[in-house]
Amino acid sequence: MRTPMGGAGHGTATAADGLMSIGTVLGRLRDEFPEVTISKIRFLEAEGLVEPRRTPSGYRKFTPEDVARLAQILRMQRDHYLPLKVIREHLDALARGEQVRLPAQSQQRDTLDGSWEADTEQRTAARIGRAELLAAAEVGEEELAEWESYGLLVQRADGGFDAEAVTVARLVAELGGFGLEPRHLRAMKAAAEREAGLVEQVVAPLRRHRNPQTRAHAEATAKELVGLSVRLHAALMQSALGVRLH
């Protein structure tokens, strides 16, 4: 849902008054967010967090409210390490006039060892227990144990699972409805791990950077790369199926 900060909503821009190109928006944001890129702005648009208008020829045009919304999103990522889903929920709550409490900025973000403690704490807090995973994914212990045996889900040393495990479990179950068994999905897991390695190569230098803002930007960069990788994977799959089906 579009919040008031995002402007008057999407549609075709018919007037140039107050509207900015994506390049102008980038210039306005760069003073505070030196790591922001055009691809990052487009990624946030693709995720539905900002909705620029379009000219009749299809060019993006941003309002001042759009720029303010982008700045707020980038601050939430930089200062509070919030994932996009949580940021969207916060913005929706603000649009409803609700009070939103953001997590305190971690004092650890100014350390120079590159260990990124604040993000580690947030990830730990986002983990769920085994019983919670079974209930959320609506599967039984036998199914979960089988998926673990093929490495599709991995229980951590503390006995919990990453919150993303719920999504993985549900998707594995849905694919099973089409006859795809866990042994068939090992190739997908292996491919995902290889892609994760590529993303890590890109963001590792950012995480080791002495500038805390640059280190904080590593998470946003990783998410952007994941989004682009997923889109590329989908496009390659559609292309491959198109070739085989025609």
CATH assignment of the domain containing 117: 1.10.1660.10
Mark whether 120 and 199 lie in a shared domain.
yes
**Amino acid 120: pLDDT:** 39
Mark whether 100 and 113 lie in a shared domain.
no
**Amino acid 245: pLDDT:** 62
CA 239 to chain CA centroid, Å, is: 25
Mark whether 135 and 16 lie in a shared domain.
no
> Nearest 5°: phi and psi at 3?
-90, 165
Residue where one domain finishes, among candidates 105, 120, 144: 105
**Amino acid 1: pLDDT:** 44
**Direct distance between the N- and C-terminal alpha carbons of the chain, in angstroms, rounded to an integer:** 39
Residue where one domain finishes, among candidates 105, 123, 152: 105
Identify each DSSP E strand in the chain by its residue range: 53-54, 60-61
Q: Which domain holds residue 214?
A: 108-245
The two tokens of residue 59 are 């060019």
Mark whether 89 and 113 lie in a shared domain.
no
Mark whether 33 and 90 lie in a shared domain.
yes
pLDDT digits 0-9 by tens, 203-222: 888 777 777 777 777 878 88
Residue where one domain finishes, among candidates 85, 105, 125: 105
Average pLDDT over all residues of the chain: 79
Mark whether 229 and 154 lie in a shared domain.
yes
Per DSSP, the three-state class of 133 is helix
pLDDT digits 0-9 by tens, 101-111: 776 654 334 33
Mark whether 124 and 101 lie in a shared domain.
no
Domain count, the chain: 2
Mark whether 32 and 146 lie in a shared domain.
no
246 residues of the chain, pLDDT tens digit each: 444 444 434 444 444 468 999 999 999 998 898 878 888 898 888 888 999 999 888 889 999 999 999 999 998 888 877 777 888 888 988 888 888 777 665 433 433 333 333 443 444 445 778 888 888 777 889 999 999 999 999 888 877 888 788 889 888 988 888 899 989 998 888 888 888 888 888 888 877 777 777 777 787 888 888 888 888 888 888 888 886 665
Mark whether 72 and 161 lie in a shared domain.
no
Residue whose pair of structure tokens reads 């070739």 in the numeric block: 243
Give, in order, the Cα–Cα distances in Å from 215 to each of 42, 43, 74, 150, 221: 21, 19, 14, 34, 10
